[in-house]
Structure 1
Amino acid sequence: MKVTLLRKVGDHPEGAELDILDETVLEAWGAAGVIEYKKRSLSDFKVDELKALAVEKELPKEEWEALKKDDLVQYLTDK
């Protein structure tokens, strides 16, 4: 998920855009006021984001790679 920093973090200045996929980082930085973040429903994710989430969760690729978006959302919800 692309986010914009509300304040400087490390070498990244305020206003910098970062691509963060780790949900725990998004939640923690949102709670700390580093980024503006509201947890999204899986159905709001794009297909490539859903597939990245499946990879991150180390789910068997053969189970999810051919699924269409709605089926992929359901698969990830069930896992």
Structure 2
Amino acid sequence: MIPAIQIQNNAITLGKYRIAACPRALPSGRFAAQVSVASGQGSASTARIMSFIDDFATHADAANYSLAQGLDWVHRTTPTH
């Protein structure tokens, strides 16, 4: 079964994971890519924040890269049946 993907404001819900792009502006005017991969709810929730070395010319480019990396992480760590 393939889980449904929902997209909202630079965030994607894939199965039990919420993947959110968190780009940040750099002093140079470029953007750093960061992604949050969260699962669970309330006090049982966990989140992993990943930052990347590459920088990007636009906020959108950094967000797209972040989401792609987050999706890749989920696909690599989710067992297939």
TM-score (norm 2): 0.28
Q: Which has the higher helix share?
A: 1
TM-score (norm 1): 0.29
Larger radius of gyration: 1
Q: Which has the higher strand share?
A: 2
